[in-house]
Homo-oligomer: A and B are copies of this chain.
Amino acid sequence: MQVNDAQWSNTEKKIAQEAFEKAYKREINTLISVVRQQANEIVELDDIWRLHDFLSARRHEIDGKYDYRYSVLIFVFSGLLKDGWLHLDELEGLDKDKLTKIAALAQM
C-alpha cells in the first residue's frame, strides 16, 4: 500500500501537516516532563545511566518515527493514533479511504 504525493490534495496536506505537528508537540512535551521527572529522581549513578539508556531509545524512536513523506504518512499517522499521540478526529477532512486505512492499521 503506497499513497504518494500526488494523491494528497492541498486541503489534505494542510490537515496532515497540522495533525503531524500537533502529535509531535504532544510527544515532545510529554518526553520533556518525563525526562525532568526522571532527572529529579536521580540518586545514584545507575539512575543516570538508566536515563541515558532511556534517551538513547527515545532518540532512535523519534528520529525514525516523524517522517513527513506522503508515501509513508498513512503508516506514520496510524502509529501515532495507536500510541495515543493523535486522535482520529484530528484527521477529519482527509478522504474517507485514507481515514479507513489509518484507523485499520492503528488496530493492528
Within 8 A of B (CB), among A36-82: 36, 38-40, 42-45, 48-49, 51-52, 55-56, 59, 62
Partner of A32, one of B28, B36, B48, B56: B48
Whether A31 touches B52, Cβ cut-off 8 Å, given contacts A36-B39, A36-B42, A39-B39, is: no
Q: Does A3 contact B (CB under 8 A)?
A: no
* Residue contact A39 to B35, C-beta cutoff 8 Å: yes
- Would you mind naming 25 contact pairs between A and B with Cβ atoms under 8 Å apart? A28-B44, A28-B45, A31-B45, A32-B42, A32-B43, A32-B44, A32-B45, A32-B48, A35-B42, A35-B48, A35-B51, A36-B39, A36-B40, A36-B42, A38-B39, A40-B40, A45-B62, A48-B55, A49-B59, A51-B55, A52-B52, A52-B55, A52-B56, A52-B59, A56-B56
